[in-house]
Structure 1
Amino acid sequence: MTRPIILDLTPDAQGMVALLAALQVPDHVRPVLVLFSGQAARVDVAMAHARDLLRAYGLADVPVQAGCPGTLVQADGVGHDLPPGNDGLGAAHLVQAIRACPQHGATVCCAGPLTTLALALVQAPDVGAHLDGIIFSGGAFHTRGNATPVAERNIAADPEAAATVLAAGVPLTIVPLGCTERLKADAVWMEQLAVMGASPATMAARVHAELVAARNGGARGSGVDIGLAAVTPLLALLSPGIFQGHLAHVNVERQGTYTRGMTVAVRGAGHDNALVLESLSVDAARGILRDLLLLATR
């Protein structure tokens, strides 16, 4: 049975890799909405590229929208019905897409901050009943954060949004930084994907070119390995057996000057609200992702 999925992606090469990979398994998943959140100029480019990709796969009817660029609360702690400077359409489209799916049918795979998803759950609490689950990349439990020493970037970007999602009562799977930090596009893996760029006019070649550009964009073009955390929510949905994890009750620190955005997982205390994936087989993950991307060249 084909599962409807909603992809909330980062507007970069990694986000395009996730979308291209998702399009290779139509018997398993079918995107029903694609969202991008981030800097407006990058989002516009990513949306145009995503529409081209979907059109090439006969999915021109799948909406591609911008997510919420703001946060749920102002710096002074005052709550918003909408993030500042945002019209809420990203969340509205998300609510519409979820409601159009069978009850307990859709899965949201989120690779960036959780603002759009949180706003949708606040504006329309009933949509939780339509979700089979939410899988998101975020949090740092047993490793140093990449936004602050204790906080991971996606959670630190909007701790209130993360707390809202964690409290929504929807089945959650969290792919934290410690699980994803070794999953990278390195030179060996990129060489395996070189065939993607053999026909420059194809959509696969376009995604491959973005990956190459991303790797060559750092350290004077020396080919710096780039993280593939944005792809892990999709991998966790398609191949859960390559991950290991545990149930826990997860909280987000929202008050501390130095600890804001920190995620804390408590095991064995009851009231578990998430499956925390603590490790994955990097070789298996890289192999699955490689094979999915190479399918796009056939």
Structure 2
Amino acid sequence: MTAQILDGRAVSAKILDRVSREVEEFVDATGRVPCLATVLVGDDPASHTYVRMKANRCAKVGMRSRRIELDAGITTETLVDHIRELSDDPEIDGILLQHPVPSHIDERAAFEAIAPSKDVDGVTRTSFARMAFDEGGFASATPGGIMALLDAYDIPLSGKHAVVIGRSAILGRPVGMLLLARDATVTYCHSRTVDLAKHVAEADVVVAAVGRPGLVRGEWIKPGAVVVDAGYADNTGDVEYEAAAERASYITPVPGGVGPMTIATLLAQTIKAARDHEAFRTGGPA
């Protein structure tokens, strides 16, 4: 068996085409261009690259982006003040705080300063709760992108055993909740899990989200399983790709799998936020 590629680049391109049409319709109807604010703290080269990519994608779909760059030595209080100003700004539809932030910053406090209506990256407690209870909140962007990718390939989830490796607040935990909402049976694994190989070998769907290259051995994969590799370090995923691809039915490449879906989901949620804001201003439908 050789796995079929879950092509995030191709699927994200279709999503961005749709977003571009929605942005054009929004601008024609309102005379206002949706805007995503990106907040970057410090000089991490990878973070600068990610923010630049997001700004470029905004431009391609017709959105504005506003980039706020802050010194690495900034305090949590000052960062929170900047984010609250963006939350109060009627010209801003979505806010992205590029993470990770410097270690002395209370990242959770900074996330919670984002107004839930502008939390298009899905990082606040409010967004997580609304997503978990299926109450219409914004999904965390990477988990939301993973679900959109699985849907694009009509991969059934109901009744399947999904193993999520990782428990971060913006990836592992929310993707497990989204899978649970699709009637999958979800097992969370992490750094303290005993016999990780045994859990992976029982999974119909594996989502690896740790950032440790080669953590998941190819021979652990159950024949016919679906493998989603959301890990990324040194241009390598968490899963031994070649060996896993010989056993899986579907697999994401790294890069080119989950990454493009994250940005597409972020922008899809930004145009949704813009419509919601306009509906609130005018009292009309979203």
- Kindly indicate which of the two structures has a greater share of residues assigned to strand: 1
Pick 1 or 2: higher relative contact order, CA cutoff 8 A, min separation 6: 2
With the length of structure 1 as denominator, give the TM-score of the two structures. Answer: 0.30
- Kindly indicate which of the two structures has a greater share of residues assigned to helix: 2
Specify the structure having the higher radius of gyration (Cα): 2
